[in-house]
Chains A and B, each alone.
Chain A
Amino acid sequence: MGRPLRGRPAARGAASPPVARGAADPPETDNPNYRIMKKTLLTLAAVSAASILAAADKAPIELDYPAPFLSGTPVPIVLPNLESPDAPQPTVLAPAGVSNIAFGKEVTSSDDFPIIGELELVTDGDKESEEGYFVELAQGPQWVQIDLESTATIYGLGLWHFHTQKRAYVDVVVQLSDDESFESGVTTVFNNDHDNSLGFGAGRDMAYVETNKGKLIGAKETKARYVRLYSDGNTSNEMNHYVEVEVFGEY
């Protein structure tokens, strides 16, 4: 059983707020625009400070990685939107103490009869990628969906497709909604479907090579109960695999 993941305690005092430079400037009381400008600057400063205070209560989500495991000789990966293997994980902030609320939650899928494995493996907390630890769905576009049981504020997601052989999954789209059928109120938080083959609009996110590090995805603090993740095969074959999905949020 995997342990819940948490955002690290906020790093305090690391950065100075970018305050307006008026204090260092000579008074410009004669300027008719000065008061308006000053008011604007103070407002901006207040907003910025509020953001900074909010951000100061948060820390980057850091995923726990399973041990790396690669077998065989990799198949060449050719995708037009493939990011560098050295690309770092994005920085996704979450309040201290936020944990993986997807752990143990019910999973449904467009493929109700997986080729191998069970849908429960998606949220069982185990990120190993060997036989017996992943679920393989049919070829073509498929989705898995996690029911968080009630609406939560979602800060980020961790996603592991399959990582014992190097490959990139195609048309990865992650959506959040309070509607179980995803017909309304849908927020897309990740989309690397560069040619809009799934019909959700062309995505600007990059495809990436699966490793034991998976993928960290920012969730824009969206309030939602359901998480749906799409893919359409991978660069080694047409199948869709899920090892684990983590959802960092709070109710």
Chain B
Amino acid sequence: MTQDSKTSLPGAPLARREFVKNSLVAAGGVMLAPAFARAQSSPAGEINVALVGLGVQGRVLLDAMLNVPGLRFRAVCDIWEYSRTYGQRKLAKEGFEVNAYQDIEDMLEKEKDLDAAIVATPDLWHARHTNLCLKAGLHVYCEKMMARTVEEARSMVLTARETGKLLQIGHQRRSNPRYQHCYNNLIKKAKIPGRITNLNGQWNRAVTPDVGWPKKYAIDEATLKRYGYADMHQFRNWRWFKDLSGGPISDLGAHQIDIFNWFLDAYPKSVFASGGADYYPSREWYDNVMVIYEYDTSYGPVRAFYQTLTTTSAGGGYWEYFMGDEGSIKFSENPSLSKIYREERAPSWDKWIDLHYLTQSEAPAPAKDAKVDVRETAPLAQFDIPVALDKPPHQPHLENFFSAIKGEAKLNADGEHSFKSEVGIFRVNEAVAARRVLEFQPSDFEV
């Protein structure tokens, strides 16, 4: 399976930096990009990092990691030469000369001083790549969903336990200071929603065509088949194929259903779902899914609705909505989609405003004669979340991972908790197919 795919990059980064600097200065006093200066230093105590998978998500993680000090990038691994080249050249511009590999076993055999791997390969490879890296003595940050099946995800937790290495799953909202503020302060301390009774969430996306690829960089058929893809179309559009991933409910819902579980401190007791491959003729997975979860929490039952639609961005894209008898928090990674509403029956929130837990954005509208119906609820007072994330969305979660490696932090989305949170997501597609309510047993959440 392995082959000698190690390559080295031509050209010296320092020479290139000088060229850029001279060119830009000659062009009119343009400032040198600060990253070039940063990459020249090489402090002790660095974490040696390998990047496994450099597709869209791998590149997003790479961009975020370049803002994190103390990392030394050593290797990139991807079955596609185009992506390997991207990673190698991008890192060269940052002052890191890295080796490139097509095969992960080849990389692990030759790179002996790695400390951590960032796994951002398609879902079908997550378990194998994570387990290989953990067994090679590396700490692993693996993108969500953890795996394609619950059994594969369970194997990852077991390997992490056996090896004693850290396993962080890419549920990046768990490290977002706005989400942490919402959980720790608004829900736990201030109890802004009162008793939470219902949740709502969605990730709706407008129609998107299939992803293409540069024909001159197509992977040969034998290599594609060796790695589980029928052809380049499958390789580039793996999220839509049943053997390769869990589809949109897995890809998108994983982020938000994890938030349901985290904020409720509970896992669902049942799931009912409906969905279908209704719109895109060539895609295997359900392009729309609607899910209802039932939870038993310490304060009573909670029912949650979640939908992911891939033919419309209606409803404002993506958010989670925690609804209680005293207030509601509509929450999103996008601050413009976030808002807090106060029910009239709620006790005063002045204390929490004084503590800067929230800010009032709009006073309730006065009662108007134009009210449509006397039974209509009056508009609620609106508040905002006064916490901002001033970094790329994935950066705090990566920082948490690297801090944990240094022994300075605890993982925010370790494999054990992520597994429990993802069990309910794994079963959505099963519930769609069964067309009935599926019950969870406590053992389902155990490893």
Contacts and interface: CB of A to CB of B under 8 A. Distances in A.
Given A69-B209, A70-B208, A112 B19 contact: yes
A72 B56 CA distance: 10
Contacts of B205: 72-73
A140 B33 contact: yes
A143 B27 contact: yes
A51 interface: no
A88 to B, nearest CB: 22
Interface in A50-94: 67, 69-73, 76
B214 interface: yes
A197 interface: yes
Interface centre among A71, A76, A131 (most CB of B within 10 A): A131
Given A115-B89, A115-B93, A139-B35, A110 B63 contact: no
Nearest to B17: A138
Interface string B102-141: 0000000000000000000000000000000000000000
Given A76-B336, A130-B212, A116 B82 contact: yes
Interface string B76-96: 000000100110011011000
A182 B215 CA distance: 37
A138 B33 contact: yes
A132 B213 contact: yes
B334 A76 contact: yes
Contact of A138 (B27, B31, B93, B213): B93
B27 A116 contact: no
B314 interface: no
A81 B78 CA distance: 39
A104 interface: no
A130 B214 CA distance: 8
Interface string B263-291: 00000000000000000000000000000
B209 A138 contact: no
Contacts of A182: 27-28
Contacts of B363: none
B215 A132 contact: yes
Interface string B202-219: 010110110111111100
A23 to B, nearest CB: 53
A111 interface: yes
A169 B245 CA distance: 33
A251 interface: no
B159 to A, nearest CB: 31
A139 to B, nearest CB: 5
B20 A138 contact: yes
A131 B16 contact: no
B31 A132 contact: no
Report the contact-size class of chain B (Cβ under 8 Å from the partner).
35 or more
A141 interface: yes
Interface centre among A67, A139, A181 (most CB of B within 10 A): A139
Contact of B30 (A115, A133, A199): A199
A164 to B, nearest CB: 9
Contact of A113 (B11, B24, B26, B217): B11
A228 B24 CA distance: 12
A130 B233 CA distance: 14
Contact of A131 (B23, B29, B31, B213): B213
B292 to A, nearest CB: 24
A200 interface: yes
A36 to B, nearest CB: 47
B317 interface: yes
B89 A114 contact: yes
Contact of B31 (A110, A111, A140, A200): A140
Contacts of B23: 110
Contact of B86 (A76, A116, A198): A116
Interface centre among B27, B29, B33 (most CB of A within 10 A): B27
A238 interface: yes
Interface string A114-127: 11100000000000
A138 B35 CA distance: 10
Contacts of A197: 31
Contacts of A238: 33, 35, 63
A237 interface: yes
Interface in B317-344: 317-318, 334-336
Interface of B: 11, 16, 19-20, 23-24, 26-36, 56, 63, 82, 85-86, 89-90, 92-93, 203, 205-206, 208-209, 211-217, 317-318, 334-336, 392
25 contacts: A71-B208, A72-B205, A73-B317, A73-B318, A76-B335, A110-B24, A112-B19, A113-B16, A113-B92, A116-B85, A116-B89, A130-B212, A131-B82, A131-B214, A132-B214, A132-B215, A138-B33, A138-B93, A139-B93, A141-B31, A197-B31, A198-B28, A200-B28, A237-B392, A238-B33
Interface of A: 67, 69-73, 76, 110-116, 130-133, 136, 138-143, 181-183, 197-200, 228, 230, 237-238
Q: Kindly list the 3 A-B residue pairs having the minimum CB-CB distance in the complex, ordered from nearest.
A: A132-B214, A140-B33, A199-B29
